[in-house]
Amino acid sequence: MPGKGSRALRFWQLGLFAAVLLAWYVLTSPTLLPPLYFDDPHKAAFFFGEPLKVAARIGDWFSSGSIYPHLWVTLVETALAFGIGTILGLVMGLWLARSPTASTLLDPYLKALNSMPRVILAPIFGMWFGLDMGSKVALGVTLVFFIVFFNVYQGVREVSHTVLANARMLGANERQLLRHVYVPSAMSWVFASLHNSVGLAFVGAVVGEYLGSSRGVGYLILQAEGTFDFNAVVAGIVVLTVFALLLDWLVTIAERRLLVWQPRGGETEKI
Amino acid sequence: MPALALEDIRVTFVSPDGGRYTAIRDTTLRVAPGEFVSVVGPTGCGKSTLLNVAAGLLQPSAGATRVFGEALSGVNRKAGYLFQSEALMPWRTALQNVTAGLEFRGSDGADAVARAEEWLRRVGLGGFGGRYPHQLSGGMRKRVALAQALILDPEIILMDEPFAALDIQTRHLMENELLELWSTNRKSVVFITHDLEEAISLSDRVVVMSAGPESHPLGEFAIDLPRPRDVAEIRLTPRFIELHGLIWSAMKEEVLKSYARQRQ
């Protein structure tokens, strides 16, 4: 698949990355250039960090293994928030979509909860669940839940009437309709929102850690900020970004596996 | 005793703002066991509504539905339904779609799979069981739907313009296959279509509906063409043309009425 065009594109992408790194290095190095803006040659490095030191810090974290406990905590929080939020969203979505009374009753409250900036709940969760993982998972769950919930709700309501009527004619009872029609149809919507919900679970974990914790990558960044160690802050951000990309990639693989039945764009395999 | 009897059916839809729309009224349709009946009429004449009543998917406002003499309540378990639009479950493969009915009725496992494979072969799709609906063409999807409905061996087959979306060659092919399947194991068929030629070439009897709203049967015509038939060839016989002329003269006015109403 990678043709000439995509190879050239890859080259330019890497080139752009290298150029940015080089500019960062040249502009922040205390010895390379005379200071352009700051009166002290070390000030640029203080405010913007230095790429080589950031790389060294990341290397140090991984070679000494000191980052693993933090990374582990953040990833477990993400996984738990994602799992719990998805299950809750799925159950509530299925229930409300099939029960018009409950959905009209709860509609304004759900809208209110959804439009509320829920990150603000982090301190409250800190009080309720302590500064350990619990409060971070809770924050992530509130973020993930609404995405999954609204998608499932939409998915169930948009189940094709014909498919539903057909399943009924084939003899499906209510329970079988739920299992063989509503849930698979809703799942495709859940997967469509998977990138979003995994991303937000991660955001919930990191923001929760940042606002108060004793472990996790968010905590690491907070500590570094406390000592004005800009290199460590950037190193933490780089690690977070890489793992966010990794999670996103895993989601893409899961999606491909689980949604084989959906046509993909440009696919022309018809006979 | 008729396999399916719709007696004095009236269907009035009520919209949330209080508006009323009577799709069909005073409609009686009886289908004998093993009889192939087509219902034709202009677009929007409530043909599909009538079929949904027969399927038990829609409760009539007045009138009764009887299946082999018994009053119908809920979904008609003796009927198989072929829908006009896509009705296959897209998350199931062709084979899994065909086994669905058996699975819903509690007969799972190897036996169901073997029977489904046999049915796929019968509709010309042996070897395509592993494909998902989106990987099949429109005609193939219709065949899967046919196998899906017929594997349950329904006494009554309800078809709602099942071949309307297909190109004319595929359509003739499917119609011939349908006739062949039907002739080996004669069931009652109610076939809805707006295509008079299709109706005549397939049926034992054609019922003409008036233009909607308040659609009702205008008349019915016995089709005495010999079987077995080839749907493409039979259109050229003098008797076919004669019948076509006869039924069309009854239908024409209604089609024009429906057309005029739509242009308003």
Chain A, nearest residue to B79 by Cα = A169
What is residue B157's predicted lDDT score, i.e. its pLDDT?
Answer: 92
What is residue B92's predicted lDDT score, i.e. its pLDDT?
Answer: 92
- B79: which chain A residues are within 8 Å (Cβ-Cβ)? 169
Q: Which of B153, B168, B201 is the last residue of a domain?
A: B153
Measure in Å the smallest separation between the Cα of A109 and chain B Cα atoms: 25
Nearest CB partner across the interface for B135, out of A163, A169, A269: A269
Q: What is the pLDDT of residues A84-129, one digit of tens each?
A: 999 999 899 888 888 888 888 988 888 888 888 888 888 888 889 8
What does the alpha-carbon distance between residue B174 and residue A130 come to, in Å, rounded to a whole number?
A: 67
Measure in Å the smallest separation between the Cα of B133 and chain A Cα atoms: 8
Put simply, the answer to whether B101 touches A171 (Cβ < 8 Å) is: yes
What is residue A1's predicted lDDT score, i.e. its pLDDT?
Answer: 46
Q: Is the Cβ–Cβ distance between B145 and B124 less than 8 Å?
A: no
Q: Which helix (H) or strand (E) holds B258?
A: helix B238-263
Do B174 and B64 belong together in one domain? Answer: yes
- B140: which chain A residues are within 8 Å (Cβ-Cβ)? 271
Indicate whether A267 pLDDT > 70.
no
We report the CATH number of the domain holding residue B160 as 3.40.50.300
What is residue A270's predicted lDDT score, i.e. its pLDDT?
Answer: 44
What is residue A137's predicted lDDT score, i.e. its pLDDT?
Answer: 92
Query: B-contacting residues of A 231-260, CB under 8 Å?
Result: 260
Indicate whether A266 pLDDT > 60.
no
What is residue B214's predicted lDDT score, i.e. its pLDDT?
Answer: 84
- The more confidently predicted of residues B157 and A6 is B157
A85 φ, ψ to 5°?
A: -60, -40
Do B166 and B252 belong together in one domain? Answer: yes
Put simply, the answer to whether A270 touches B77 (Cβ < 8 Å) is: no
Measure in Å the smallest separation between the Cα of A15 and chain B Cα atoms: 41
**Domain total for chain B?**
2
B159 forms beta bridges with B82, B191
Q: What is the pLDDT of residues B183-236, one digit of tens each?
A: 888 889 999 998 899 999 999 999 998 887 888 888 889 998 888 888 888 989
Put simply, the answer to whether B79 touches A169 (Cβ < 8 Å) is: yes
**A173 and chain B in contact, CB less than 8 A:** yes
What is residue A271's predicted lDDT score, i.e. its pLDDT?
Answer: 43
- Give the burial class of A263: count Cβ atoms within 10 A of its Cβ; 0-12 exposed, 13-18 middle, 19 or more buried: middle
Put simply, the answer to whether B81 touches A166 (Cβ < 8 Å) is: yes
Average of per-residue pLDDT values in chain B: 88
What is residue B206's predicted lDDT score, i.e. its pLDDT?
Answer: 92
**Pick among A166, A257, A260 to test the B interface (most B CBs inside 10 A):** A166
- B92: which chain A residues are within 8 Å (Cβ-Cβ)? 261
Put simply, the answer to whether A184 touches B55 (Cβ < 8 Å) is: no
Do B193 and B257 belong together in one domain? Answer: yes
Q: Is the Cβ–Cβ distance between A125 and A135 less than 8 Å?
A: yes
Put simply, the answer to whether B140 touches A169 (Cβ < 8 Å) is: no
Do B67 and B95 belong together in one domain? Answer: no
Q: Which of B115, B138, B153 is the last residue of a domain?
A: B153
Q: What is the pLDDT of residues B84-129, one digit of tens each?
A: 888 999 999 999 999 999 999 888 788 889 989 988 988 888 889 8
Do B201 and B241 belong together in one domain? Answer: yes
**A66 and chain B in contact, CB less than 8 A:** no
Nearest CB partner across the interface for B105, out of A162, A171, A181: A171
Query: A-contacting residues of B 133-152, CB under 8 Å?
Result: 133-137, 140, 145, 148-149, 152
Measure in Å the smallest separation between the Cα of A249 and chain B Cα atoms: 23
Do B39 and B148 belong together in one domain? Answer: no
Q: pLDDT category, B15, cuts 50, 70, 90?
A: confident
CATH of the domain spanning A49-258: 1.10.3720.10
What does the alpha-carbon distance between residue B230 and residue B88 come to, in Å, rounded to a whole number?
A: 28
Three-state secondary structure along A24-75?
HHHHHCCCCCCCCCCCCCCHHHHHHCCHHHHHHHHHHHHHHCCCHHHHHHHH
Chain A, nearest residue to B151 by Cα = A170
Do B203 and B238 belong together in one domain? Answer: yes
Q: What is the pLDDT of residues A127-186, one digit of tens each?
A: 898 888 889 999 999 999 988 998 888 888 888 899 999 999 998 898 999 889 998 888
Put simply, the answer to whether A262 touches B88 (Cβ < 8 Å) is: no
Do B144 and B133 belong together in one domain? Answer: yes
* CB neighbours of residue A237 within 10 Å: 16
Interface pTM, i.e. ipTM:
0.87
**Pick among B48, B104, B132, B190 to test the A interface (most A CBs inside 10 A):** B104
**Pick among B75, B89, B119 to test the A interface (most A CBs inside 10 A):** B89
Q: Which of B94, B124, B153 is the last residue of a domain?
A: B153
Nearest CB partner across the interface for B81, out of A169, A260, A270: A169
Do B256 and B168 belong together in one domain? Answer: yes
**Pick among A169, A189, A261, A269 to test the B interface (most B CBs inside 10 A):** A169
* CB neighbours of residue A154 within 10 Å: 15
What is residue B1's predicted lDDT score, i.e. its pLDDT?
Answer: 85
**B85 and chain A in contact, CB less than 8 A:** yes
Query: A-contacting residues of B 96-135, CB under 8 Å?
Result: 100-101, 103-105, 132-135
The ranges assigned to domains in chain A are: 1-48, 49-258
Do B90 and B74 belong together in one domain? Answer: no
Chain A, nearest residue to B83 by Cα = A162
- B89: which chain A residues are within 8 Å (Cβ-Cβ)? 163, 166-167, 180-181, 184
- A269: which chain B residues are within 8 Å (Cβ-Cβ)? 135
Put simply, the answer to whether B89 touches A167 (Cβ < 8 Å) is: yes
Domain span at residue B93 reads 86-153
What is residue A16's predicted lDDT score, i.e. its pLDDT?
Answer: 95
Q: What is the pLDDT of residues A26-68, one digit of tens each?
A: 888 877 777 667 777 777 778 888 888 888 989 998 999 888 9
Do B102 and B198 belong together in one domain? Answer: no
- B76: which chain A residues are within 8 Å (Cβ-Cβ)? 169
Do B64 and B168 belong together in one domain? Answer: yes
Q: pLDDT category, A4, cuts 50, 70, 90?
A: low
Q: What is the pLDDT of residues B236-245, one digit of tens each?
A: 999 999 999 9
Tell me the mean pLDDT in the region A214-238: 88
